[in-house]
Structures are given as structure tokens and as C-alpha cells.
Amino acid sequence: MGKAIKNIAKYFILAFLQVITLAAFGQNEIKIPPDFVETIPTNDFSEKWRILNSSENEFVVKIINGKLEVEQFHGVADCELKIPGGTLIGINRGEFGGELDFKPDNNSKDTLKIVPGARVNFLFNFRNKIYFMAGLCHMGFSNGALYQLEQTKDGFNYNKLVDFGDCPEAFSIDRDRFLVVTDKNFFIINGLKKEIVLSKAFWTGLYPNSIAVVDENNVFIGMRGGIAKLNLETKVLKFYESIK
């Protein structure tokens, strides 16, 4: 009788361990769409890079019901954020300029130019505070930063929080941190402290446009010519080129 109980207990322990193992592998297995094939990324301005740079296909990444969805990217409109009394409007025209404006709900009042010349890429609320990212990448020049915007009785104040030294191109909020893809790097901003995950990344000139997060092992980036997958723990980066 004692031997039978021991065998039963052993069986349940092995079954339990197997279930845990399968669950762990299943959670981390994110399928790449069949229209993409893994290739070696390059940023050496080689012929392969020129083909990607001139591709007419740009891809945006999303996570829907735990699955990676990849769609054609059709550009970005001006960013807007509704706040008390009106709407903030961020404009980025690249080398042709940009600005951060406030359009009052009261149409009798003029639009206020808060930051003339700021090329605003992202405008968002986080923990009841207003932030924006602005930057420019043009002809070898690349710079940008994260700012906080404060609404006052008389208008607005803003101050720079984090200097990227590079232009922010894709952005996502993941729990209590910001994930930022710039022209050449990948940053994590946690508690307004900057951590560089990758530097001199291959996607310079491929215009990253989106970040989709499953977990630490599965962070996806949409860009021209394909998609990238980044493991934040090992910092291993893979590139999947479109074969369409």
C-alpha cells in the first residue's frame, strides 16, 4: 500500500512539472508571420541596407490577444491630447519645422504656440502628468529629448527631463516605464532614469515606427523592410525581413 501511494505521488509530481514546463514554453513562444524570414541585420550602408532603406513596405507591430500582428504602416498624423480647456497638438514636419500648440475649446480664443520650432513626435499623459517627446533626424543630424509640460493659470511651462542625444522614433509605455526606440538606440526610461539597452542599432535609416511588448523576452519593433525582435534580458536582437 505504501509503495502504491509513493508511485502515485511520484506520478503527480512529474505531471505537475511537465505542465509547468509546457506552460512556460508556451507563454514565450510568439509566432512570426510567415511573410517574414530571419536575416542578419546590417547598418553598414551596404547594398542590402540600401534595398531595405528604399523598400515601399513599412510595418507596424501590435499585440492582439497575445499574438503578434503586423500591418502596413501608412504614416503618422499630428499627435493630439485632450486636456482641461482645450487640446494640445504636436506637429513634426522634419526639416520643415514643427511646434507644440494649445487649441482652446473656446473658439473665440486664439491657438497658443507653446513651443515654436519643437518637432513633436509623441504627446501623452502618465500618472496625471503631461509629457512630450521631440526631436529631429535629418542628413546625419539626430537629437531629441523627453519633456514634461505643466499647465498653469497663465499658460504652460515645460522642462527637459531626459536627453536622448538621438531622435525618438517609436515609443511605448510598459507598466511603469517608457520604452523608446531612437534613430540609433533603444532606451528604457524608468523613474525618469535612462538605461541604454542597445546602442548603434542596425535600424538607422529604416524609420522604426512602433513597439509591441509581450514580455521581457519578446519586444517587437516595426520598421521599413521588416520587423525586429529584442530580448531585454539577453539583449539579443533579431531581424525578420519581409519576403513579399
Kindly report, residue by residue over 174-192, the tens digit of the pLDDT: 999 999 999 999 999 999 8
Place of cell 509623441: 122
Strand order in the sheet with 177-182: 168-174, 177-182, 186-190, 193-198
pTM, 2 dp: 0.85
Give the pLDDT of residue 28.
60
pLDDT of the residue at 17: 41
What mean pLDDT is predicted for residues 18-29? 46
Extract the C-alpha cell encoding 126: 502618465
**CA 30 to centroid of chain Cα atoms:** 18
The band of 25, judged by pLDDT with boundaries at 50, 70 and 90, is very low
User: Which single residue is written with the C-alpha cell 511651462?
Assistant: 157
What average pLDDT does this structure show over 96-125? Answer: 94
For residue 10, what pLDDT band results from cuts at 50, 70 and 90?
Answer: very low
Is the CB of residue 61 less than 8 Å from the CB of residue 50? no
